[in-house]
Amino acid sequence: MRGAWLIARKDLVVLLKRSPGTLLALVGYPLLVAVLVGLALEGSERTPRLALVNEDTSTRTVLVGSERLSADDYADRLGESVDVADLSRTDAASALEDGRVSAVLTIPAGFVADLQSGGARPPRLELATSRRDPLAAEAIERRVESALFGVNQSLSTDYVSQVRRLVRILIDGGQVQVFGEGGKALGLTATRQTVADTQQALRAIGQDPLADSLDPLGRFVDQTTRNLELAGQVAESIGAPIELEVTSRQEQREPLSAFGLAAALTLALGLAAALLAAGALASERDDGTLPRLIRGPVSPLALAAAKMLVAAALAALVALIALVLVALFTDIAVDRWHLWPLAVGLAGLSFGGVGALIGALARDGRSALLITLMVGLPLVFLGIVPLEGRVETALQTVGVAPVFDAFQTLLIEPTIPERFWWTLGVIAVSSLALWLLSGLSIHRRVRA
């Protein structure tokens, strides 16, 4: 392994002291791509900007549950989910046109009045989204729908509650006050009692046939009372047919930000390590030194190991620096510093193995770098996208999917599961396989 060490040291000298531009390109390009991916993913997590045009200036209010809401309150509730800017109709249209907002929500005049009509005139909101920013527009649509669902559910509950109260008054009697209409109601129970009292009084004066003629009225009141009791329960179940119980996980980290960081890290580390290893190995052929090395001083396996180690060390160093910067300057929680060097080191070896294999198979340095980019980019992206079946199994053999999984585990999981160590094992085995394949490819190339 003395030859491997000497070649690794030579590569470090050449890259760090003699070719800083090349090093910057081979490491800077993946980092730049990673930053862009990270920003794109973070962007999807950002609160979208919405213009609100409130044309209902009536200041009328509607009773929702136990509180009274005006159109302004309705707008405030939406503002909890999206970044709302109050604008006039003209300004909102202009803002949507030039991309300052992703959507315009209009509360038309008479909205609260329609709401108070109890369904006679269904209230409507108007949402116009931007074609320029379809992702943000879709996010806003979802959030507005979600906010509306919440408000509508409150309204629905209130309607049902009022219907039940009305039913109760119809049965028991009392003061009616529904949707602004008021009055005194006798109630079915009192009606039934009145019918019974009347029948008893008629029988007392010998008017039995007349008393009997009131029996159908008594049965109708009984039947109606029973049906209304049932109607109250049905109305309640229609008002909230399915309840959604949302439970937050304990020690929850920022999943989407962590997903973005894990993806960016996989991309940067993967491309940097693969490009460095491929370039370093292919340059031996370009310089004509490959046959000179392989004929004695350095075995093909030692040469592949040297290239993988240098690529892994440099890429892992860059990844760790990036992690430190993320920890210092963002809200993403990065810890477990004792495990990160192991994870990024193994990942660097695995990706370096892919690069070494490509470097051994390619005809020259330029082809090696081009092929690495052409193969590496889709491979890393496929590793980040959740897949099942054969494709994922194939990806695991080159260590892309397990690397992403390991990074996600370190960033997201509250405790390190046993699966994490298994994943690192898979990465180590794939690195070993790639090392052997690279050595074999170098041997075949040179001996041919």
Partner 1 sequence: MATVLEAEGIVRQFAGAQAVAGVDLAIRAGESLALVGPNGAGKTTLLRMLAGPAQPDAGSIRRPAAGVGWAPQSAAVYPRLTVRENLALFTAMEGVADTPSRVEELISLAALDAYANQRAETLSTGTLQRLNLSVALCNRPAVLLLDEPTATLSPEQRRRIWAWIRTLRDDEQLAVAFSTQSLTEAAREADRILVLAEGATVFEGRVEALADLAGGDPEAAYLGLVGSAE
Note the residues at the interface with partner 1 (CB under 8 A): 2-3, 6-7, 10, 13-14, 18-19, 287-289, 291-298, 446-448
Of the two residues 67 and 287, which places its CB atom closer to partner 1 in the complex?
Answer: 287
Nearest to 171 by CA among 232, 231, 228: 228
- Distance in Å, CB of 14 to partner 1, minimum: 5
Measure the CA–CA gap between 315 and 75, rounded to whole angstroms. Answer: 49
CA 123 to chain centre: 31
- Distance in Å, CB of 19 to partner 1, minimum: 6
Of the two residues 199 and 283, which places its CB atom closer to partner 1 in the complex?
Answer: 283
- Distance in Å, CB of 427 to partner 1, minimum: 31
CB atoms closer than 10 angstroms to residue 228: 16
- Distance in Å, CB of 300 to partner 1, minimum: 11
- Distance in Å, CB of 290 to partner 1, minimum: 8
- Distance in Å, CB of 7 to partner 1, minimum: 8
- Rounded to 5°, the CA angle 394-435-18 comes to 120
- Distance in Å, CB of 283 to partner 1, minimum: 9
Of the two residues 100 and 445, which places its CB atom closer to partner 1 in the complex?
Answer: 445
Measure the CA–CA gap between 282 and 262, rounded to whole angstroms. Answer: 29
Measure the CA–CA gap between 377 and 419, rounded to whole angstroms. Answer: 26
- Distance in Å, CB of 438 to partner 1, minimum: 18
Of the two residues 13 and 40, which places its CB atom closer to partner 1 in the complex?
Answer: 13
Of the two residues 293 and 410, which places its CB atom closer to partner 1 in the complex?
Answer: 293
Of the two residues 269 and 368, which places its CB atom closer to partner 1 in the complex?
Answer: 368
Of the two residues 206 and 296, which places its CB atom closer to partner 1 in the complex?
Answer: 296
Q: How big is the chain by its Cα radius of gyration, in Å?
A: 36
Of the two residues 10 and 168, which places its CB atom closer to partner 1 in the complex?
Answer: 10
60: phi > 0 → left, psi -120 to 50 → alpha, else beta; which? beta
Q: Give the H/E segment covering residue 129.
A: strand 126-129
Sheet bearing 83-86, strands edge to edge: 83-86, 49-54, 103-107, 126-129
Amino acid at the residue 352: G
Measure the CA–CA gap between 85 and 101, rounded to whole angstroms. Answer: 9
Q: How far, in Å, are 104, 183, 184, 444 from residue 245 at the CA level? A: 31, 40, 40, 62
